[in-house]
Amino acid sequence: MNAAGADSGTPPFRLGVLVSGSGSNLQSIIDKLHNGPANIGIAVVVSDNNKAKGLMRAAEAGIPTAVFSMIDFDDRVEHDRAMAAELKRHEVDLVVLAGYMLLVTPGLLDSFPYKVINLHPALLPAFPGASPIEDTMDYGARITGVTVHFVDEGADTGPIILQEAVEIKYNDTVESLRGRIHEVEHRILPRAIELIASGRVRFDEENPRRVIVDEDRP
Ligand code: GAR
């Protein structure tokens, strides 16, 4: 049996998922993709936080885990190099930042060029950063949403793969809005992974900022 649990003869598409906290998005990948018919498997879950609930979710699903705490490293590049080595050891095809709250550096990106994606709870390029839901509400925006994008060296600046809008209601609280954003995230992050794994995501040769998604092709 291969890592995705499929016996199709095709090697599974192997994910490394990075989490810092609750891991509800990791759970959506486990429930919707891991060992499923799309031949996608989570090879390893990595966290910077040894108390992350996401690590427990991974363990419950029988997925290997690893923790790389910043305090054990001199700098972020060294930290990310160690993490990249672990992801390489697990022969990961795509790295998914699913609620991973540290900025990643060339220590990781150089080992996985165009193979790191991030989930962000706002419609980028609006409201990048660490508290986008609060920032969106404080600003008084009426529409926000979810972005899945490739990661480059900037903060939430990489080419966008999928986005979906979420309306902000007058009586929303941060928590009620977060709940509706999570519903969208749990749908579009697994979808983006599936699209990449099946070769339906590519860069426009004339403008590599533009990502072309062949949603309609099976
Ligand atoms: C998600 O809403 C994700 O978009 C956000 O953290 C949350 C993690 O939830 N990520 C960022 O803000 C990255 N800048 P989860 O741990 O329940 O999956």
Q: For each of the domains in the chain, give its residue range(s) and CATH number, in order of start.
A: 1-113 (3.40.50.170), 118-218 (3.40.50.170)
pTM assigned to the model = 0.95
Contact residues of ligand 1, CB 6 A cut-off: 19, 21-25, 98-99, 119-121, 132, 185
Count of C-beta atoms within a 10 Å radius of residue 67: 16
Q: Strand (E) positions, the chain?
A: 13-19, 40-47, 65-67, 94-97, 116-120, 143-150, 160-167, 201-204, 207-213
Distance 182 CA to ligand 1 centre (A): 8
pLDDT (tens digit, 9 = 90+) per residue, 153-186? 999 999 999 999 999 999 999 999 999 999 999 9
Q: How far apart are the first and last CA of the chain?
A: 25
Ligand 1 atom at minimum distance from 21 CA: 16
Ligand 1 atom at minimum distance from 20 CA: 16
Q: Quick one: pLDDT band at residue 11, thresholds 50, 70, 90?
A: confident
Region 98-108: mean pLDDT is 97
Distances (CA, A) of 182 to 150, 194, 199: 19, 18, 26
